[in-house]
Amino acid sequence: MYTWEDKFAEIIAVSRSKELDLLREAAYLRGFSRAYMSALPGVVAVGALVVFALAKAGADISAPRLFAAIVAFDQLRFPLLFYPMSLAHLAQAKVSAARVEAFLGLKEISEFKNVGNARYNRDEDMPNHGEIILKNVEVYWSDPLVPLGDTTINGSDDSPRDLNDSEKEVLVHPKPVLQNINLHVSNGELCAVVGRVGSGKSTLCSAIINEAILKEGEIILKGKVAYAAQTPWILNATLRDNILFGLPMDEDKYHKVLRACQLEHDLNMMENGDLTDIGERGINLSGGQKARVSIARAAYSDADTIILDDPLSALDPEVGKKLFSECICNLLDGKTRLLVTNQIQFLSSCDSVVALREGKITEQGSFSDLVSDKGSEVNRLLASSRTGSLRGSDTGNSSSITKDKKDTVAAAPANKDQSLFKKSLHTKEERNVGAVSMSVYLKYLKAGGGYIKFGFVYFSFVSTTVNQVAITSWISYWTSDADYERHPEAFYLGMYFMLAVTLGIFSFVRAYLLAKFGVNASESLHKNLLGSILRAPQSFFDTTPMGRILSRFSKDIYAVDLELSDFFDWFLYCTTSVAASIGIIMFVTPWFGIATIPLGLFYFKILNSFREVSRETKRLDSISRSPVYAHFSETLGGLITIRAYRQPDRFRDEFEEKVNSNTKAYYNLKAADRWLSIRLEFIGSAIAGCAAAFATNLAISTSGEPSDSHFSSLAGLSLTFAITIAGTLNWIVRSFAQFEAAMNSCERILYYTENIPQEAPSTSDELELQTKHDKPSALTPSKFAVITSDGKALRVSSDWPKEGRIVLDNLRMRYRSDTPLVLRGLNVSIAPGERIGVVGRTGSGKSSLLLTLLRLVEPHLDDNDQSYRAPISIDGVDILRIGLRDLRLKVGIIPQNPVLFSGSIRSNIDPFSQYKDDEIWNALDKCGMKVSVERMPLQLEAAVTEHGQNLSSGMRQMLVLGRALLRQCRILLLDEATSSVDFETDQEIQRTLREAFSGCTVLTIAHRINTIMDSDKIMVMKDGIVEEFAPPQELLKVDGSVFSEIVRHAEEEENE
């Protein structure tokens, strides 16, 4: 949407690079420890033998004594190798435990708080009695005792006289958001809260449900509570489950709620009705539908106290009026209701009105009393809502009212979400069966640097094994010269010591090369995975739970980073060691080769049995982990709503069930591991026994011969390898099974890298190049457009578009191939610089039009139609024949749901530090946020939490508007950009937009009539077609026009 993919990829790459640097250091340290521990048994053996030789004159270093000592020392090798690994795991466990301890030590929310001068009490003991009482309340968003940070201020006359510096560092503490709040909402009362953006309305709701920091005063909340958040929180479940929210089904009450919340019409359009799968974050519902589902949840809960944080802002006037009357006033009559709203027309129906300004209550009382005071805040808000509400533009345009010629087509659901009427919205997560494909191993090797680099890695392992065999062979050679006739004793000891040292060197080189290879593979796989996800189309995120994606970037990347290379190291080391051991044993006792046949068959049968269990268990573990991440992420997103409804226990139980399902796979793996150990120990014992038996038999048969003394050395060599082979065989199976299980993570990452759909190319050059190489069956709309245009993409100039003319020619769109058409043939021509207001009922296709203009969803083209016509043209350029980046850089958009990131005000309005402070402040001033930001302790550096949850919806919308003001575009798309702000702020923003984007083409979707009445033309959408398109004055003159009916409803509401 903002073409930030490359920038965010660079930011992530920097963090990833730091992580990989630490992984490299850890791998090198691990290599050093293995090298040290590998050489240590040999060095210790040399030291022991030297002491033995020097301490005892004429010491007999015979074959039996020497081999017994060597075997004893060699038994230390595996414990010494695992010792540093155990220490590393212990250190990791301590760090994790410390982090968990620090988290558990944080302050928790209590329903009964008595700290200092602050009192909070939530009482549900009195049934059917709801009440809200606030006395001298002072509220903060963060702990006022904890400084936000330090900042530098210039010295002044007010600074202490003993400070000579012109500047000093001071600690900045949070400022109160609400002060001196006294409010009483009695049982059964409907209380409306009004005020400008940033006045503290949403904070008041948060304080009442104990989601803000109370420093002074007392809050008493009585009765069972329901809460509808300003940004509706929707479960990844059916629509019915979202409304019931854990309560039993009551048919009569349920249908009353649906009727009062105006949801019946929406359910009738859904194939599965209220059993339609909504998807994550309500992805398949419009903003208005989500708001109504949230209100329906509160209404069905049968709560005594209901807190509604501006849920009506997302509704069109007609639906909002009916919902307010039938649900809030009638169905919830007798309940205690606190309604935050910017819909001033509803105030006359409320029992009391509270006006907030800059965190303080300026006035409260009945509507009639406040209206009678000519200077009241309510009167001012009413006046601002009437000013220009029906002001039309006197353009003199004689265009006739146009209706789309597709009226004969049967009405079809035009909402994105209503097109997803399958029993299950989400695709089933892929799960391969059987052994991991060889192609996955080869792709991992390519990611690590290619086959040649891996050849060097493998050669280092072979060299290490050869060195290890040389050490034991040297002992055999030494013992064959018991009288030191060939060489002196010091020569044998020196050579043994040198081989032990070279073993350590080779071990380090081996670990170093493999660590570097593994880190390169991790870097490549992560980079490709991130690139694939950033380029995935919107349909992929609609049908893929976030938990699956998080699972790839967390557990799977962790397995590739740490587990894969580690298990690969052990597997290569053990296989080369076993091959060398069996070769030595068969060299000494050739008859052992016969015994290896049944033992080998039994061994490989056990190996394959365990592999199957380990591999499939790992896959089950990966698949069962995704729901854990998804549920946890979803729960965190709706924590305020969950706590308000007092349902943390239900969500905790559901989470534990998912964790338990995930743990079953791990338990099965450990049970299989014990099964494996018993059988491998038996095979190892059988090998050692066979080697000893054959060696003894051969020694007896050659007794008395000249070669007898020489054979004793060889027999010792064979038995040494036979004794140590048991543990090595055990580790081959385990390391290979774990290596294959970890390779499953690589398999899952490669699936998302290679198999998920991708958006069209970013640039025209890429588009043209890919079109030449793609198969005809794989053509996307953009590539089809290029092929039908002689295979040539279009290149646009840096100042494109110069005018901003938009032409829609039979524009059709569906969200996915298995869903109905959402836009069903739009034919519209928008002149340069025109301001177009887009209206229509929820689900008529308004937001879908804007998404198609940005190609977040591609237009639908008929493959059988060879006479291609550009469905969307901007200044005569077919936007399907240019790169996505070329298009989106030139079109500005302010979406319905503002997207903010964890960071600061500055990082959210200027994410990549492209503008100066003066420019940022100027943009904040124009979008109406300057005063609010100046009130924040750190101003531009003030913290913004994840998704901007510490800001109201109105403030979020204004920040996103500030982005658009910084980035001047010839075409601007506004999708309910001011739905959550008050009328006065809305007027200021509209005036700013007219001035800042003078001469630009602007498309504005709005439910507020006064927001679009000064537009050059009005586009009325209905069921995915353009029902009316003409200047507002002409539409108002036509009796029975859809737009005139919308205006009439708005006038009736204002008159009431």
| pLDDT digits 0-9 by tens, 794-816 | 888 888 888 888 999 889 888 87
CA–CA distance, 425 with 239 (Å, rounded to integer):
12
Cβ within 8 Å of residue 2, ≥6 positions away: 888, 893, 963
Is the pLDDT at 165 greater than 50? The verdict is no
Question: Quick one: pLDDT at residue 400?
Answer: 35
H or E segment to which residue 123 belongs: strand 118-123
Cβ within 8 Å of residue 835, ≥6 positions away: 994, 1001, 1002, 1004, 1014, 1015, 1016, 1017
Integer angstrom CA distances of residue 243 from 16, 292, 420? 42, 10, 19
What is the SS3 assignment for 478?
helix
Cβ within 8 Å of residue 877, ≥6 positions away: 794, 796, 800, 801
In a 13 Å sphere around the CA of 3, the CA atoms on its Cβ side amount to 17
The more confident residue out of 604 and 77 is 604
In a 13 Å sphere around the CA of 364, the CA atoms on its Cβ side amount to 16
Question: Quick one: pLDDT at residue 990?
Answer: 77
The more confident residue out of 470 and 718 is 470
What is the SS3 assignment for 537?
coil
Q: Which amino acid is at 877?
A: V
**Helices 451-479 and 565-588: angle between axes, nearest 10 degrees:** 40
The more confident residue out of 772 and 724 is 772
The more confident residue out of 58 and 220 is 220
**pTM (whole model) above 0.85:** no
Whether the CB-CB separation of 940 and 933 falls below 8 Å is answered with yes
Whether the CB-CB separation of 188 and 165 falls below 8 Å is answered with no
CA–CA distance, 358 with 200 (Å, rounded to integer):
7
Residue matched to tokens 């530098």 = 152
The more confident residue out of 193 and 976 is 193
DSSP state of 875: T
Tens digit of each residue's pLDDT (9 = 90 or more) over 944-1000? 887 777 787 778 878 888 888 887 788 888 887 776 676 777 777 777 778 778 888
The more confident residue out of 377 and 6 is 6
Would you place residue 404 in the very low, low, confident or very high pLDDT band (cuts 50, 70, 90)? very low
CA–CA distance, 838 with 550 (Å, rounded to integer):
37
Whether the CB-CB separation of 219 and 377 falls below 8 Å is answered with no
Nearest CA to 174 among 213, 116, 135, 216? 213
Question: Quick one: pLDDT at residue 760?
Answer: 85
CA–CA distance, 217 with 438 (Å, rounded to integer):
68
Nearest CA to 545 among 659, 623, 627, 618? 627
Question: Quick one: pLDDT at residue 757?
Answer: 85
Question: Quick one: pLDDT at residue 157?
Answer: 40
Straight-line distance from the first to the last Cα atom of the chain, in angstroms, rounded to the nearest whole number: 41
- High-pLDDT (> 90) share of the chain, %: 10
- High-pLDDT (> 70) share of the chain, %: 83
Is the pLDDT at 655 greater than 50? The verdict is yes
Is the pLDDT at 423 greater than 60? The verdict is no
Tens digit of each residue's pLDDT (9 = 90 or more) over 693-710? 776 766 666 655 554 555
- For 5-89+436-754, CATH number? 1.20.1560.10
The lowest-confidence range among 47-61, 693-707, 875-889 is 693-707
On the question of a cis peptide bond just before residue 801, with omega within 30 degrees of 0, the verdict is yes
Tens digit of each residue's pLDDT (9 = 90 or more) over 311-356? 887 777 778 888 999 999 999 998 999 999 888 888 888 999 998 8
Question: What's the mean pLDDT when you consider all of the chain?
Answer: 79
In a 13 Å sphere around the CA of 397, the CA atoms on its Cβ side amount to 21
Nearest CA to 359 among 202, 538, 217, 510? 202
Integer angstrom CA distances of residue 497 from 43, 76, 216? 6, 17, 76
Whether the CB-CB separation of 1007 and 976 falls below 8 Å is answered with yes
- What angle is formed at CA 386 by the lines to CA 381 and CA 389, rounded to 5 degrees? 130
Pair type for strands 806-813 and 872-874: antiparallel
Would you place residue 501 in the very low, low, confident or very high pLDDT band (cuts 50, 70, 90)? confident
Is the pLDDT at 413 greater than 80? The verdict is no
**DSSP string covering 479-536, please?**
HTTTT-SSS-HHHHHHHHHHHHHHHHHHHHHHHHHHHHHHHHHHHHHHHHHHHHHHT-
The lowest-confidence range among 232-246, 470-484, 717-731, 788-802 is 717-731
Question: Quick one: pLDDT at residue 492?
Answer: 78
**Residue 128 is encoded by which pair of tokens?**
């059917």
CA–CA distance, 646 with 394 (Å, rounded to integer):
55
536-541 average pLDDT score: 83
Cβ neighbours around 595 below 10 Å, total: 19
Would you place residue 253 in the very low, low, confident or very high pLDDT band (cuts 50, 70, 90)? very high
Question: Quick one: pLDDT at residue 703?
Answer: 56
Q: What's the alpha-carbon Rg for the chain, to the nearest Å? A: 37
Is the pLDDT at 240 greater than 80? The verdict is yes
Determine whether 480 is exposed, middle or buried from the number of CB atoms within 10 Å of its CB (0-12, 13-18, 19+): middle
**Residue 792 is encoded by which pair of tokens?**
């040539």
Q: Which amino acid is at 312?
A: L
Would you place residue 295 in the very low, low, confident or very high pLDDT band (cuts 50, 70, 90)? very high
The more confident residue out of 689 and 644 is 644
Whether the CB-CB separation of 923 and 965 falls below 8 Å is answered with yes
Q: Which amino acid is at 778?
A: A
Would you place residue 120 in the very low, low, confident or very high pLDDT band (cuts 50, 70, 90)? confident
Q: Which amino acid is at 54?
A: L
Question: Quick one: pLDDT at residue 190?
Answer: 93
CA–CA distance, 886 with 884 (Å, rounded to integer):
5
- Let me know how many helices (H) and strands (E) the chain has, helices first: 34, 25
Question: Quick one: pLDDT at residue 149?
Answer: 57
Whether the CB-CB separation of 845 and 825 falls below 8 Å is answered with no
Is the pLDDT at 753 greater than 80? The verdict is yes
CA–CA distance, 201 with 928 (Å, rounded to integer):
17
433-439 average pLDDT score: 78
What is the SS3 assignment for 71?
helix
Tens digit of each residue's pLDDT (9 = 90 or more) over 542-595? 778 777 888 888 888 888 888 888 888 888 888 888 788 777 777 767 766 677
The more confident residue out of 487 and 247 is 247
Pair type for strands 872-874 and 305-309: unpaired
Q: Return residue ranges of the chain for CATH 3.40.50.300.
A: 120-155+164-386
Domain 120-155+164-386: which topology?
Answer: Rossmann fold (3.40.50)
Would you place residue 260 in the very low, low, confident or very high pLDDT band (cuts 50, 70, 90)? very high
600-606 average pLDDT score: 80
Is the pLDDT at 296 greater than 90? The verdict is yes
Q: Return residue ranges of the chain for CATH 1.20.1560.10.
A: 5-89+436-754
The more confident residue out of 750 and 735 is 750
